Amino acid sequence: MIASAPGKIILFGEHAVVYSRHALVSAINLRCRVEVKKSDGFRIISPLGVTTLDFKVHPYVSYSIKRFCELKEIKGAEIRIESDIPIASGLGSSSAVTVATIKAMNEEFNIGLSEEDVFEMARKVEIDVQGRGSGIDPFISTFGGSWIFPKRKKVDLCLDLFVLKLWERSTKEMVEKVALLRQKYGEIVERIFDAIDCITLRASECRIEEFDELIKMNQSLLRALGVSSQQIDELVARLEKEGFIVKITGAGGGGCLYGVFTGKKPQGSFLVRTNAEGVKIEDS
């Protein structure tokens, strides 16, 4: 059985959403495909290597199977993964592989999980691996479209965005970094989250002509949270001189920058379209 799930782009609100503020998120037209076949024993085949259950090389897939086996004991499965989504870049590759694995396992072993069950299981897997998380990534990979999260308000947001990939980094480390800042400067950091929340709610009215200003403000606040870096700040400033307004999307510290595409894009960037379909079964 083959299932595919989309990557995502957080337009506004990353990090603040971990502390119950809103984020505006959309599924993008890059997908991860996972094929599951019943087998004796477990084998995971991906661009990262071929392993059995391996919580270091394939943490998200291995925890997905572990969680799945709590529902139904199975002898094994061969799991084959291919993905268009760059890994460790803030575009939701981990959640896409998790959600697609659970969906394909569900179909192959005929368990009857609903989309809501798939989301709940993927959310547990995110916590298993990262220790902390808002659930926004598994949510959007499961349901697709564009949403204000965690309110679950659907928005109509069909946009072309340019994305500039920087270097890989760990979401877990960036989320921990913000948690430490919050421990030290509780009141200040809560106000930064509140300001990000206001930006997200304003953006959710979908007046696209305001996006560049809101992107600038959100980027400054991410910098205040310590998830930008000197190199990123310099790049943001250089792009601004060239006429491109960008912000980090996802956990930061590297990952990706995005901006609204209006006919030209920065050198080295690629285009994505928002509002993609959520997890689905593919014809084999």
The set of catalytic residues is 137
Q: Should residue 189 be labelled a site residue for ligand MEV when binding is judged by CB under 6 A?
A: no
Are 284 and 2 in contact by the 8 Å Cβ rule? The answer is yes
CB 89 to ligand MEV: min, Å: 10
Compare residues 28 and 175 and give the one whose CB is closer to ligand MEV.
Answer: 175
Give the Cα separation of 103 and 184 in Å (integer).
41
Q: Which position among 171, 204, 228, 269 is part of the footprint of ligand MEV (CB under 6 A)?
A: 171
CB 255 to ligand MEV: min, Å: 9
Q: Which position among 36, 101, 108, 133 is part of the footprint of ligand MEV (CB under 6 A)?
A: 133
Q: Should residue 276 be labelled a site residue for ligand MEV when binding is judged by CB under 6 A?
A: no
CA distances from 113 to 43, 48, 64 (A): 23, 28, 14
Q: Which position among 11, 14, 58, 279 is part of the footprint of ligand MEV (CB under 6 A)?
A: 14
Compare residues 77 and 166 and give the one whose CB is closer to ligand MEV.
Answer: 166
Q: Should residue 254 be labelled a site residue for ligand MEV when binding is judged by CB under 6 A?
A: no
Q: Determine how many CB atoms are found less than 10 A away from the CB of residue 141.
A: 32
CB neighbour class for 232 (10 Å; exposed up to 12, middle 13-18, buried from 19): buried
> Strand locations in the chain, DSSP E?
2-12, 23-38, 41-46, 49-51, 76-83, 146-149, 153-154, 160-165, 247-249, 256-260, 270-273, 280-282
CB 168 to ligand MEV: min, Å: 14
Task: Report CA torsion sign: 197, 201, 206, 211.
Answer: negative
Q: Which position among 5, 12, 15, 182 is part of the footprint of ligand MEV (CB under 6 A)?
A: 15
Q: Give me the residues that bind ligand MEV (CB under 6 A), please.
A: 10, 14-15, 17-18, 90, 133-134, 136-137, 171, 175, 250-251
